[in-house]
Amino acid sequence: MSDLKIVAAGHVCLDIIPTFLRGAPTLDAVMQPGKLVEMGPAVLSTGGSVSNTGLALKRLGLPVRLMGKIGDDAFGMAVRDHFRRLDETLVETMIVDPAVATSYTVVVNPPGIDRIFLHCPGANDTFGADDVEPSLLAGMQLFHFGYPPLMRAFYSRADELARLFRAVKACGLVTSLDMALPDPASPAGQADWRGILEQALPSVDIFAPSLDEIVFMLHRERGLAVRNKAAEGVPMGGLIEDDVRALAGELLAMGVAVVMLKLGSQGAYLRVTSDTRRLASCGCFTEEACERWADAEFYAPCFDAKVAGTTGSGDCTVAGLLAGVAKGLGPAECVRSAVAVGSASVEQPDATSGVPAWLELDARLRAGWGREKPKVAFRAPWA
């Protein structure tokens, strides 16, 4: 069986990172009216789910197209040029709207203090279900969508995410969804995410949120407490396996077929519906595979890695899961591949350059790549 052809859709932006020179002044000294501060070259890179998950899939060797919405402006040209330099075909499904501005983030990173992000949501806030025309999906087999909490249409209209996934499913594609953690005080953070997911998940085949995202979306007050504990360094924000299993069960009850919860430094947890008819409706499982996947449950701890940066590691973990599904692997192999790709990604400071080709990843696994010892106990079978 040949690999499934994948569309990586959703949030995309241009990151602009001015570099501070050695001996740069403090932020207070920089932020003075009328002051000219000499800087080094600016680093330009693409960000968001489209870039991170999409380019990780590309590095793994999967056939992939990117579908983000950008403006017909200089920043939009920079985004397209970055993707084109990697592969001209990547941009065939990008959406260009002359009426909107391309999303960008200026990352101000003075020495000695936390980064400051100046963000323009731009075209992401105008991306809606109607932008994904059936013609853009022609010849594709798996549709992945990332970061709806950072895209206004999908949190301001309760049925927009469901409309998108129903339309994509009607085109016969396998569907996949990833989330992002909104600011609790923002309109996205105030949205009824439980209600949004209850409408959308019957049309979502694979759902791969982070643990902190989904506990906030389903149980807001508990999610805030988990977030605070995680910030204090408590693994999984104090949650245990029973909590993780219960959250996955809630999502399966909403109608999704496959749930993978990303657990950060503790790895990933996979749980699958017991309904073989629901699995068959995904469109990527044979009858034999449905029997193998049905009611599966696995835990995969992280692999040993020298961490250079965690930017995009969750997106790369999702790419590893989708790559496994696209190649027809079983549930244990898929969640293991997910964690392996995420672990490899943190060995470089940027989002995706640490992701190896699939054969290199497989060779590293076969050579006995060591695992990190988890700080939270899991009784589920290890993958």
Which domain covers residue 152, as residue numbers?
Answer: 6-12+50-102+124-366
Residue 116, pLDDT > 90, answer: no
Average pLDDT of the chain, as a whole number: 95
Domain assignment of residue 235, yes or no:
yes
Domain assignment of residue 160, yes or no:
yes
Q: What is the mean pLDDT of residues 83-107?
A: 96
Domain assignment of residue 306, yes or no:
yes
**DSSP letter (8 states) at residue 73:** S
Domain assignment of residue 166, yes or no:
yes
Nearest alpha carbon to residue 178 among 156, 153, 200: 200
Q: Are 284 and 174 in contact (CB under 8 A)?
A: yes
Angle at which helix 193-200 crosses helix 211-218, to 10 degrees, equals 100
- Tokens at 327, concatenated: 């190649």
| Residue 339, domain CATH | 3.40.1190.20
Say how far apart CA 270 and CA 28 lie, in whole Å.
47
Domain assignment of residue 34, yes or no:
no
**DSSP letter (8 states) at residue 15:** E
- Tokens at 35, concatenated: 């002051």
Instruction: State the pLDDT at residue 376.
Output: 98
Say how far apart CA 234 and CA 241 lie, in whole Å.
14
Angle at which helix 211-218 crosses helix 220-231, to 10 degrees, equals 150
State the pLDDT confidence band at 113, using cuts at 50, 70 and 90.
low
Say how far apart CA 267 and CA 374 lie, in whole Å.
8
pLDDT tens for 329-366 read 999 999 999 999 999 999 998 899 999 999 999 999 99
Write the single-letter amino acid at 113. Answer: I
Q: Tokens 């988890």 belong to which residue?
A: 374
Write the single-letter amino acid at 68. Answer: G
pLDDT tens for 242-257 read 999 999 999 999 999 9
pLDDT tens for 146-195 read 999 999 999 999 999 999 999 999 999 999 999 999 999 999 999 999 99
Q: What is the mean pLDDT of residues 251-266?
A: 98
- Per DSSP, the three-state class of 377 is coil
State the pLDDT confidence band at 58, using cuts at 50, 70 and 90.
very high
Domain assignment of residue 66, yes or no:
yes
Domain assignment of residue 289, yes or no:
yes
- Tokens at 173, concatenated: 């594609």
Q: Are 84 and 90 in contact (CB under 8 A)?
A: yes
pLDDT tens for 213-235 read 999 999 999 999 999 999 999 99
Domain count, the chain: 1
Write the single-letter amino acid at 234. Answer: V
Instruction: State the pLDDT at residue 38.
Output: 86
Bridge partners (DSSP) listed for residue 316: none
State the pLDDT confidence band at 311, using cuts at 50, 70 and 90.
confident
Domain assignment of residue 194, yes or no:
yes
